[in-house]
Amino acid sequence: MASRPNVLLISTDHWPAELLGEAGHPDILTPTLDELARSGVRFRNAYGECPVCIPARRTLMTGVSPRTHGDRDFGETKPMPDLPTMAQTFREAGYQANAVGKLHVYPQRNRIGFDDVILDEEGRTQYGVVDDYEAFLADQGYAGRQFDHGMSNNDYATRPWHLPEELHATNWATQQMVRTIKRRDPGRPAFWFLSYRHPHPPIVPVATYLEMYKNSELRWPTQAMWCREELPYLLQAIRGRAAHMGPKQIQEALQAFYALCTHIDHQLRVVIGTLREEDLLKDTAICFTSDHGDMLGRHGMWAKRLFYEPSANIPMILAGPDGDRRVGHHRVDDRLVGWQDVMPTLLDLAGIDVPDSVEGLSMVGERERDWLYGEVGEREHATRMIRKGPHKLIYYPAGNTRQLFDVESDPAEITDLSGRPEHEALLEELTQLLVGQLYGGDEEWVRDGKLVGLPNREFRPGPNRGLSSQRGHHWPPPPKTDMRQIQWHNEDEA
């Protein structure tokens, strides 16, 4: 056991792969993650198989696809599948396993194999749980006040954080992980999961980080000509929800979003510094990633649930323990990876047998996949993806729309190649791969081996009385909601 490394897995929420200085982004400031990438390997072609919070986290913690774990939408009351979890597997191998931050499982206090979870669930009081971050604010004399800033969890209006900086959720998660590291059992290796809730909205960065971007002329989100054509229902809906955003609001949202990212980046220095001062850093493997990205205005769209690069292409940085040649340093790996690959990779680095249930591949192993299938949503809200080589096929059943991009030469996905005769054979090849993956009602989109999809329809905006899942004042705690009566919608994920 003494020879096995510690493992620190760091996850964020809504962080696109391109938002790293080391990835060539001209505006974002991420010195810590850039150094970590140079100290290990950065996987350029990492994707969220289902780019939305709950399904992604089920994949991360079980190492299986959405098809196997049973959620490709947003099953907020679905229990975890009966599969070995990452934490459970580490514990059974003799590791201590602790998590800090966002788990997004049901019921909320399910530890999914961890010895302990110090929980931050973004104020989801409908589950009947006061999480540890809410309790912390109360202990500091700010009971129920985390959402007094008035910004919502699925909106891009922004303002500075309204409480002292040390009470921000990013600082809290950092300090809780630092304390967890310091309280470890020195006789056993550790698996630590640090799950930051940001840069997921509400976009409320502390003022010091917002100031870093206030005078910056940030790169404007690109928009393709294909956005001006007739769009499938899902894209109409996503673009429609952002139609009110003018240039000033877009610029402020980008500045504040980047500020949240840089804040996390700097707080990671405290975690890494703690590992160094505790003489653990050289014996610790570190992985940084995110459940999905955010469109951030690209093609007039925001948030996730799409397979365009800003939404589906996620950061994946791996730094091995000192001397591990499988990881190396100053490397960029172009293999195609997903969140199902994190569990087998970290177990591999720790020398632990991977459960037979795991479908992912070790990212430091010799086996590499030829293509990756992605899926999110149901019926007219659905979209599906095949990524193979430099090409990506995106399919929308509503309107029976296919798009084909060469993301190596066209990472902004400006040029849709699906209608070009010279790409007809490639389009058919990727289409047949996609057809072979359809299940759970998706087979109805196929007739005689050909995609026929569903009729398109026109998106008509309805009221947004809840202000995109706006939270309120949480003291006294709101009454518990009868979960049987909740009607969640794909377009208004909490």
Q: Which sequence spans correspond to the domains of the chain?
A: 6-370
**pLDDT tens digit sequence for 13-28:** 999 999 999 999 999 9
Tell me how far apart the alpha carbons of residues 203 and 220 are, in angstroms, rounded to a whole number.
18
Map tokens 């249930």 to a residue.
Answer: 357
- Measured in whole angstroms, how far is the alpha carbon of residue 335 from the centre of its chain? 19
pLDDT of 482: 62
**pLDDT tens digit sequence for 113-146:** 999 999 999 999 888 889 999 999 999 999 999 9
Helices (H), 191-308: 207-213, 233-241, 247-277
pLDDT of 203: 98
User: Would you say residue 5 has pLDDT above 60?
Assistant: yes
User: Would you say residue 439 has pLDDT above 80?
Assistant: yes
Gyration radius from the chain CA atoms: 22
Tell me how far apart the alpha carbons of residues 215 and 158 are, in angstroms, rounded to a whole number.
16
Give yes or no for a contact between 197 and 120, defined as CB atoms under 8 angstroms apart: yes
- The mean per-residue pLDDT over the stretch 459-465 comes to 93
User: Would you say residue 484 has pLDDT above 60?
Assistant: no
DSSP type of residue 148: T
- The per-residue b/e assignment along 463-478, b for 16 or more CB within 10 angstroms, e otherwise, is eeeeebbbbeebeeee
Task: Give me the phi and psi of 13, to 5 degrees please.
Answer: -135, 120
Give yes or no for a contact between 315 and 290, defined as CB atoms under 8 angstroms apart: yes
CB neighbour class for 261 (10 Å; exposed up to 12, middle 13-18, buried from 19) = buried
CB neighbour class for 248 (10 Å; exposed up to 12, middle 13-18, buried from 19) = exposed
pLDDT of 129: 87
- Which CATH code is given to the segment(s) 6-370? 3.40.720.10
User: Would you say residue 487 has pLDDT above 60?
Assistant: no
Give yes or no for a contact between 349 and 363, defined as CB atoms under 8 angstroms apart: no
pLDDT of 252: 96
pLDDT of 1: 57
What is the pLDDT confidence band of residue 2, given thresholds at 50, 70 and 90?
low
**Strand 41-47 to 316-319 pairing:** antiparallel
Strand ranges for 128-203 from DSSP E: 190-199
pLDDT of 71: 96
- The mean per-residue pLDDT over the stretch 405-422 comes to 98
Tokens for 13, please give them: 């929420």
pLDDT of 483: 57
pLDDT of 131: 94
What is the pLDDT confidence band of residue 213, given thresholds at 50, 70 and 90?
very high
Tell me how far apart the alpha carbons of residues 52 and 304 are, in angstroms, rounded to a whole number.
6
Dihedral Cα 178, 180, 186, 189, nearest 10 deg: -100
Tell me how far apart the alpha carbons of residues 100 and 275 are, in angstroms, rounded to a whole number.
16
Tell me how far apart the alpha carbons of residues 188 and 364 are, in angstroms, rounded to a whole number.
24
Tokens for 262, please give them: 């840089």
Angle subtended at Cα 124 by Cα 113 and Cα 475, rounded to the nearest 5 degrees: 125
Tell me how far apart the alpha carbons of residues 206 and 201 are, in angstroms, rounded to a whole number.
13
Cα distances (angstroms) measured from residue 27 to each of 216, 220, 289: 8, 11, 20
Share of the chain above pLDDT 90, in %: 92
Cα distances (angstroms) measured from residue 450 to each of 98, 234, 408, 437: 48, 21, 28, 13
**pLDDT tens digit sequence for 318-334:** 999 998 999 999 999 99
**pLDDT tens digit sequence for 443-453:** 999 999 999 99
pLDDT of 3: 81
Tokens for 10, please give them: 């760091």
- The mean per-residue pLDDT over the stretch 198-215 comes to 97
Range of lowest pLDDT (277-286, 287-296, 479-488): 479-488
User: Would you say residue 489 has pLDDT above 80?
Assistant: no
Give yes or no for a contact between 47 and 337, defined as CB atoms under 8 angstroms apart: yes
pLDDT of 480: 76
Tell me how far apart the alpha carbons of residues 60 and 53 are, in angstroms, rounded to a whole number.
11
Residue 7 DSSP SS3: strand
Comparing CA positions, the residue from 106, 104, 210 lying closest to residue 149 is: 210
Q: Structure pTM? A: 0.96
User: Would you say residue 234 has pLDDT above 50?
Assistant: yes
**pLDDT tens digit sequence for 77-125:** 999 999 999 999 999 999 999 999 999 999 999 999 999 999 999 999 8
Enclosing H/E stretch for 9: strand 6-13
User: Would you say residue 493 has pLDDT above 60?
Assistant: no
Strand ranges for 291-413 from DSSP E: 316-319, 331-338, 371-376, 383-388, 391-396, 401-406
Average pLDDT, the chain: 95
pLDDT of 72: 97
